[in-house]
Structure 1
């Protein structure tokens, strides 16, 4: 550790070699024998680093987390990188090529963040049953969301596939991801009607489907999402009326339905939505009085 401190020589770290390494910034030790179990070099600006040598440390076991986000890594992602990992964060880089077919499938994998890269190709069809959070937003991924990719994923809480080029339908089987808290499919080329199965997501708090090519009406099943705080289905091609049952969403703070082809009378029941702070309805063919918003 002392050798590493001298090599890094970073003012951001301020490692004092006269003190116990367990007291150094970015160093985590085990409670029992004061062994170093984690070193964080995040934000110390090692842009000149060309070699990282971890030899002769008697390392054992498996590396559980690898975080290399907000760098300038280029090229493709090597196959097998997630074989023993629980957490992988390569977001905000310049990675290109496709996602390896085996990358998201290891049984121990729980969190993957590949957002804000230059990745292309399709989404692998095999996703770990242990996956809790999958972030692939702001890439150039395309094709349909694979049939059955998330059919039995009871641990999945956050699915973020926004700002890609995914096409096809919003998969009805997403309704089986019972612990899903955030679903973001915004900014794709998804088409067809919204599946009523989404109304089964009893833990859902954020649903973002804007900037797609969705058609049909707003499924009344959506109004069953009692924990929903944000609903954005703006700038699609939805038609029909706003269901009066929308007022059942008692925890909704933000409702954005602008830029669609919705018609009919604005439901007066919206005035009873005490948590609602933002309502966007412009760019439709709605009639009637503008609902009174709650006083803040």
Structure 2
């Protein structure tokens, strides 16, 4: 077991799981800390300030380290480092016990493409300094924390975003109109917050996964940009104030759907025509509505138990 709390410069630990050095046996040239999967379970303890002296650090993977604690990550702005050795292609610290506000480490991390602080105990608002990551950031995951306040409008400038997860926080107010600029986003999760209408019209080329469940929305109908998506596979709109007749719901594409959650709305009619057009459906959830249909009319009714 290697404890981060006992880290000292020059520690000989390159043979340990989750530690990779650039050259030699001293950790003055560490290039990677942690690896995805079970290999990182050999790391524990508090985040040591000494780690901020690792000038050649490229990647950080600290997910699934249940014993990793501390008020903030050890990263420092890479503007303090030589240009040829600036780090932070990926900064990930999900599923730990980080607490307090999101650390103000972003001004120098202009090359960051992935940022994940999910499954921690972070509080407060999303920092304005995060806006500097807009040109290159593709993955922003802040879900399962206790963040609050309004969703910053500048997030609409993150036009390279593939994935944005703000779920299971305490965000209030409306979804910024600037989200209409997120034309490349494929995965958007805003579920389990306290967001209100209006929901902006998105100009996405094709959403793959959308979850806006359990907010304070009153959408009325399923947005046209969702219905028209040619690649959507997961649509979760539980408790979104939908008032539609399911017989009339005819999305452009149903072939790839694997999850549909329309629970706790005011939906009537029959889901048969929708369900009979799916081939890979794993879960369909529609409790708390007023649906009427004959199970025998489903083409896969013989497999139901």
Asked if TM exceeds 0.5, the reply is yes
Other-structure match for 2:143: 137
Find the residue that maps to 2:178 and give its secondary structure.
helix
1:283 corresponding residue in structure 2? 288
How big is the shift at 1:49? 8.7
Q: Partner of 1:276: helix, strand, or coil?
A: coil
Match of 2:58 in 1: 64
Kept in 2, the 8 Å contact 1:28–1:37? The answer is: yes
Contact 1:213 1:236 in 2 (8 A): yes
Work out whether residues 117 and 142 of structure 2, in 8 Å CA contact, stay in contact via their aligned partners in 1. Answer: yes
Instruction: Name the SS for the 1:196 alignment partner.
Output: coil
The answer on 1:91 being equivalent to 2:94 is yes
Q: Is 2:259 the counterpart of 1:262?
A: no
- Counterpart of 2:253? 248
2:227 matched residue in structure 1: 223
| Partner SS state of residue 96, structure 1 | strand
Deviations 1:265-286 (A, max 9, x none): 5473542334434322221133
- Give the match for residue 109 of structure 1: 112
SS in 1 for 2:276: helix
Shift of 1:235: 3.0
Aligned pair partner of 1:213 in 206, 209, 216: 216
Q: Is contact 2:33-2:60 (8 Å) kept? A: no
| TM-fit CA distance, 1:264 | 4.8
Distance in structure 2 (CA, Å) of the matches to 1:137 and 1:65: 21
Deviation at 1:246, TM superposition (A): 2.6
CA distance in 2: counterparts of 1:266 and 1:50, whole angstroms: 51
Answer yes or no: is 1:170 the counterpart of 2:175: yes
- Quote how far apart the aligned CAs of 1:223 are: 0.7
1:75 to 63, 71, 76: 71
CA 49–228 in structure 1, closer or farther in 2 if over 3 Å, else same:
closer
In the alignment, does 2:178 pair up with 1:182? no
2:204 equivalent to 1:201: yes
Matches within 5 A, 1:23-62: 27=20, 38=31, 40=33, 42-43=39-40, 45-47=42-44, 62=56
Which consecutive unaligned segments of at least 5 residues does structure 2 have?
1-8, 24-28, 80-85
Q: How many aligned positions are there?
A: 271
**1:137 and 1:86, CA in 2 relative to 1: closer, same or farther beyond 3 A?**
same
Return the TM-score normalized by structure 1. Answer: 0.74
TM-score by length of 2: 0.72
The offset of 1:163, in angstroms, is: 0.7
The CA deviation at 1:154 is 2.9
Q: Give the structure with the larger helix fraction.
A: 2
